[in-house]
Structure 1
Amino acid sequence: MNLMWKIVISFTLVLLAGCQSEEAQQDSAPPWVKTFVIQPRSGAERVLSGTVRARHEMPIAFRINGRIEQRAVDAGQRVKSGTLLFALDPSDLEKELDARKAEVSAAKTAISVAEADVVRGHDLLKKEFISQQSLDRFNLVKREAQERMNAALARLEQAKNALTYARLTAESDGLLTEVTGEQGEVVAAGQSIAILAKEGELEVELFFPEEMKPPASGLVMPRNGKPIPLKLREVAGAADAVSHTWRARYSVRASGDKLALGNIVRAIFKRVEKSPDSLEVPLAALDERGGTPRIWVIRDEHAQPLSIELISLGTETALIKTKLSAGSRVIALGTHLLKPGMAVQPLPQ
């Protein structure tokens, strides 16, 4: 009986020793690491959403103050040149015109009286009833009456123009993209009450991230049809302080029949990096424990740090410059746990 227990105990000890040996071997095995193949960024494409707009968008406004009596159009309506858009209440303008006509009539009468005084003055001077100084005074009164007449005629012309300004018409064919003026509203001279997009050349308006310079050309992708070339026409002088984006407008270089004003379209651009040999790696691959940015590469089954030049950071990736070539593998996770020369095993891709 004692012999049997000795055999069982001996067998158990052997099993326990074997398990501990296996665990020790497992503990000493190199850890598995996830790797990433770095890619070059020159020639990469960037897809942005843009809005189709007219090359010329003209704010519509009255040239005089007044109250809107008639609104003849609505937003989204196509208009022809000369089409009535808005009309102001003309009652005050008509009274102003009548007053200016009365001024002209009074000025004409004053000229007639002054001319008659000059004629009588010449007769009286011949008879030596008045002096030359008195005749000169009659001539000055006549000249003053003529100047008043000129001023009255100018004011009359202004009143006539103001009456025509009370009717606001389209200066060219186009589409009303926005109409804000309402009947009964009092508006000031120059206050925009509509926007007219002139027919003709179309453009695509886009907003680029602050770190990306708008390319000189690109492609717009209509919902149906082939891509249409784009050419950069203008870029905003400064980035938007709120969105940190650059506004750019691209001319449609081919027929834009498949594009409509206000459409949201996709535009594709070839992104050119500031450094043509820049590489892209995941953010998790960066390690800044050494004071300078670095990444980790696997050499002879051991992790080794490699110093890099950090160009820019994105939401998920970073652009770097280093001696590695495209296609090399770097450790993509857990770099804060690595030590130089540490044995590692790359996970199968």
Structure 2
Amino acid sequence: MNAQPLRLGALVVSISMVALAAGCQRVGAPAAQAAPPVVATATVEPLGTAGLGLSGTVRARVEAPLAFQVGGRIAARRVDAGQSVQAGQVLFELDPADLEQAVRAAEADVAAAEAALRTAQADLERVRTLAAQGFVSAQATDRAQLAAREAASRRDAAQARLSQVRNGRAYAQLRAPAAGVVTEVTGQPGQVVAAGQPVATLAQAGAREVEVFFPETVTPPATGQARLPDGRMVPLALREAAPMVDTLARTRRARYRADGLPAELPLGSVVSTQFALPGRPAAAAESTSPVGTWRVPVGALDERAEGPRVWRVRDGKLEAVPVRVLRLDDRHAVVAAPLQAGERVVALGTHLLQPGMTVQERAR
């Protein structure tokens, strides 16, 4: 029997097994050495320790809507939005035709009531004369006295109505109750308005304030600062705060006294405000890091857990950091969190992350 073919076959089988094993190792090697996922990161931007910066609007202390005390058709408008006015200046006028007719009717009622009173008084004098001569009873005298009193009351009522309609005729002119600036005009000539319907808004001259809208989770602080367009800082003192959160905007309105505002700063100007927020977020109370206010990309927020958080990258691994959201816009979020300046957080795709995950950073 020839042994050479058998040896040749065994050699072929051995070579095939070695090649198969090497191929299995090459296929399995990439799975065992898979690179960690790449994440986009951004550096947190400090906004001050436990501070909050918001935009405020310069307002007049008193902003009153103006309205006629009587109804009618507007005959003339003598003011425009943005115009400065003085106390007593005529702003609007109603068509006085109906009011004049009402005055004449009231004057006629007064004349009739006075004539009736004179007649009742004359009857009372005659009855008293006849009663003294014994020609009428005491009951007739009482009736005459009551008639005279009734006529006098009707005369007084007619005179009161006349004074009222005369006042109404004077109300046909809407005058500025104080000096200031007309910030809004809604009434137009030819428009029929009811009594009490606002036709303009007057921002009275004098003290001015800064109006700020806070997130619903923040109680308006008692003090703060406003940065003017020229860089100067003006102290703020809380005067009033809305007791309820706005149901649509989810904010709380607050008014701050700002006695140092320059007179040349127009109403409606936007100023930057800064407030110190006492305390620390409850979610981060156990952390030893100081709680500060930071700006992060809005995509860095992850709300899958019990509260909002961001993912901090340390030594290539992820850590979840609880935060308190102070405000949002279309690009950034301002949060209070135990972060440090220069730290990096994942900026996108936070819904795919898990604690302790190893990642590769790619700065945005």
Amino acid at match of 2:197: Q
The count of aligned residue pairs is 319
Deviation at 1:265, TM superposition (A): 2.2
2:362 and 2:254 mapped to 1: Cα distance?
44
Instruction: Assess if the C-alpha contact under 8 Å between 1:67 and 1:185 holds in 2.
Output: yes
Match of 1:71 in 2: 77
Structure 1 segments unaligned to the other structure (5+ residues): 1-16
Paired residue for 2:179? 173
Report deviation, 1:100: 1.2
2:89 aligned to 80, 83, 88, which one? 83
- Between the aligned partners of 1:57 and 1:78, the Cα distance in structure 2 is 14
Map of 2:10 onto structure 1: none
**Cα deviation, residue 144, structure 1:** 1.0
Shift of 1:328: 10
Alignment of 1:238-277 (within 5 A): 238-275=244-281, 277=290
Q: Are the structure 2 counterparts of residues 119 and 188 from structure 1 closer, same or farther at C-alpha, using a change threshold of 3 Å?
A: same
String of CA shifts for 1:265-288, please: whole Å, max 9, x gaps.
222333445347436797869898
Contact 2:310 2:323 in 1 (8 A): no
Shift of the 175–316 alpha-carbon distance from structure 1 to 2, 3 Å rule, reads: closer
Q: Which amino acid aligns with 2:211?
A: E
Matches within 5 A, 1:191-202: 191-202=197-208
Aligned partner of 1:223 among 229, 240, 253? 229
Distance in structure 1 (CA, Å) of the matches to 2:46 and 2:195: 57
- How high is the TM-score relative to the length of structure 1? 0.74
Aligned-partner SS, 1:68: strand
Q: Which amino acid aligns with 1:85?
A: L
**Matches of 2:295 and 2:200 in 1, distance apart?**
50
Counterpart contact for 2:94–2:173, Cα < 8 Å? yes
Of residues 127, 134, 137, the one that matches 1:128 is 134
Residue 188 of structure 1: aligned partner: 194
User: What is the 5 A alignment of 1:319-334?
Assistant: 319=336
1:115–1:278: structure 2 CA closer, same or farther, 3 Å change rule?
Answer: same
1:312 corresponding residue in structure 2: 324
Which aligned pairs between 1:155-170 and structure 2 lie closer than 5 A? Answer: 155-170=161-176
The 1:33–1:86 alpha-carbon spacing in structure 2 relative to 1, beyond 3 Å, is: closer
Look up the match of 1:102. 108
Partner Cα separation in structure 1 for residue 310 and residue 183 of structure 2: 53
2: distance between equivalents of 1:287 and 1:79? 53
Distance of 2:345 and 2:188 partners within structure 1: 65
In structure 2, the CA distance between the partners of 1:302 and 1:237, relative to structure 1 (3 Å rule), is: closer
Q: Aligned partners of 2:342, 2:271: CA distance in 1, in Å? A: 37
Give RMSD over aligned pairs. Answer: 4.2
1:278 to 2:291 alignment? yes
SS in 1 for 2:280: coil
Q: Is the 8 A contact 1:33 1:331 kept in 2?
A: no
| Residue identity (%) | 40
